[in-house]
Chain A
Amino acid sequence: MARAISTRRKLTFTAIGWLVGFVIFFPILWTVITSFKTEGEAIASPPHFLFFDWTLDSYAEVQSRSNYLKHVMNSVIISFGSTFIALLIAIPAAWAMAFSPTKRTKDILMWMLSTKMLPPVGVLVPIYLLYRDWGLLDTRLGLVIVLTMINLPIIVWMLYTYFKEIPGEILEASRMDGASLAKEIIYVLTPMAVPGIASTLLLNIILAWNEAFWTLNLTAANAAPLTAFIASYSSPEGLFWAKLSAASTLAIAPILILGWFSQRQLVRGLTFGAVK
């Protein structure tokens, strides 16, 4: 029998939950509010929360100065492209590690993770030189490749833990019924692991969307995604907070909407595991 929880306790926890949620969300809310202010209003002290003249000036300015849609398209291509390619590689890899482990599987997993321990700036110059010679600087393909590499260890790790929870007997049964390896992965394993794969997919799209080191350093004018779009409105000399906020709001809007619609998948995948 489940332990009874009093209404009062429920109320307290709900209130605390909302409060914590609000505190975490507040910076984003503040950015959105600031984006509707004038530059003078944005630095007013004490700041005004809601009662000021709302204006779209900053958005108009941002629109006239930069090509927002081009940056969005670049971000979409780079984040979705790199995640899909990484998944194509990671699903078979995680399958192999989860269902036919060898003595060295754990070591390989650790080794893959260790590549994340190197600060990216350490390999900037070598990669820059390679990309220069291969003509990949400032191309979307170049960014897709580098982000695929960067996110691959995380994807393999996440999928590995989901796959581990799927009973190997089910796959064995499908093999008994004569399924080939490809069929086993596509028709038996993947459907069972959908929540896990979906949350991995979403998390990595978000990671790739927000990735700001490689996307800034390997691009110039053509392949620059939204991170470069934001960086173009930040300035240490001169107050452009309203414009910067407008640019940030525009940059996070697509991913916020995507996250909103897929939060059920995301939460389920992150909390429940594969077949529960």
Chain B
Amino acid sequence: MRLKSLMLGACSLAAMTVWAQAETLTIATVNNGDMVRMQKLSDDFKAKNPGIDLEWVTLEENVLRQRVTTDIATKGGQYDIMTIGTYEVPIWAKQGWLQPLDKLVADDDYDVNDLLPPIRSGLTYEGKLYASPFYGESSFVMYRKDLFEKAGLTMPNAPTWDFIGEAARKLTDKSKEMYGICLRGKAGWGENMALLTAMSNSFGARWFDMDWKPQFDQPEWKATLEYYVNLMKDAGPPGASSNGFNENLALFQSGKCAMWIDATVAASFVSDPKESQVADKVGFALAPDNGLGKRGNWLWAWSLAIPAGSKKTEAAEKFIDWATSQSYTQLVASKDGWLNVPPGTRTSLYETPDYIKVAPFAKATLESINSADPDKPTVKPVPYVGVQFVAIPEFQGLGTAVGQQFSAALAGQITVDQALKNAQQLSVREMTKGGYIK
């Protein structure tokens, strides 16, 4: 009898260990080309890690953000790995919602020092890495080499806003639906405010001073917004106030824009002959500046993180290691070619001759990322981190509200002065409510 129950116990213990080994990781991710590719290639991970199964929850960016924020804030535990951006990492790390990736950092194979310094610093909070970058991006100027040549213009490697404005006006021919420049105008903290905040950095503006006082009443913001609205009025496409990334991509790919300042990941879309009518005519240059020492480019990295309290940390770490290490880059290169490897996370990629050969935008991407500094994003000192955003929880709502004002100014519904006045009021109210200012 005793033996029997002992045997039974042993059997059930064995069964439990087998059961515990067959773990399923639920991964929440965005629907971007590189993420979809990772999902397709994940059989390689399963082959190397038998006993770990993967479930994918792919969602549109804004839905995903809402979904994972609800889950992590309530400790719902629905996801073992979350795809989050540079905006979330410092906020969530401060809240204690993420597990530091100490094990990865200590792992020589992972080679944490290979990560591009600005990207790494954006994902670090109080000296600890809280998310591992899957792909990184900055923004830069994409322009039509053929049109520039025809107009007798030469794009410098690092243009100024003055040059961009002049060239854009010269290249515009509205009767032929040819526009000198396409920029984001759709309201949203990740839409027009990404462009405008990054742009304002190069004009010497900032969101808040060291006492968290909103700065929209300062001349730098007026210069930024006036320049943007006038430029778009003279040389932008009609209805620009509803254009986001996708709309501008469609315009640029169909040959209607001479210049487009946007995310560096767009480079591989506009260079793809299957999708783009201008694939072989695109040149790349750094985002413009005003000689003040800051360029108008942003910094973002879609990264993988593990929620605090996860019970599958070990398996999750294995997966993150697989997806964000150099060997994953090699895997993509061997399966889909170098052009399709996730860009912007590691120095080693930009030292790979095969990659440099096929990616004409590699050099400009690397320089753009390296010129962004999330810790010191502006000319004047600021109390926040983030280049095209302010890493505080209030920013999503505030950024979008301000974006609506600026979008209305672009559409001509209100004046630039009115938009800035409203933005200032909105920010003061929100920051007072948040307890930043009295």
Contacts and interface: CB of A to CB of B under 8 A. Distances in A.
Contacts of A233: 31
Contacts of A217: 66-67, 70
Contacts of B57: 220-221, 224, 228, 232
Interface in A135-172: 137-138
Contact of B32 (A124, A125, A231, A237): A237
Nearest to B24: A221
A272 to B, nearest CB: 40
B76 interface: yes
A17 interface: no
Interface residues of B, number: 44
B121 interface: no
Nearest to B263: A237
B269 A239 contact: yes
B75 interface: yes
B39 interface: yes
A23 interface: no
B18 interface: no
Contacts of A132: 74-77
A45 B237 CA distance: 14
A238 B63 CA distance: 16
Interface residues of A, number: 32
Contact of A128 (B33, B74, B250): B74
A276 B135 CA distance: 65
A3 to B, nearest CB: 48
Nearest to A234: B60
B310 interface: no
B225 interface: no
Given A39-B275, A40-B274, A239 B59 contact: no
B253 interface: yes
Interface of A: 38-40, 43-45, 65-66, 124-125, 128-129, 132, 137-138, 216-217, 220-222, 224, 228, 231-240
Interface of B: 26, 28, 30-33, 36, 39-40, 55-63, 66-67, 70-71, 73-79, 190-191, 244-246, 249-250, 253-254, 256, 263, 265, 269, 274-275
7 contacts: A39-B274, A45-B254, A65-B36, A217-B66, A217-B70, A220-B57, A239-B275
Q: Which 5 A-B pairs have the closest CB atoms?
A: A232-B58, A221-B55, A234-B60, A220-B78, A235-B31
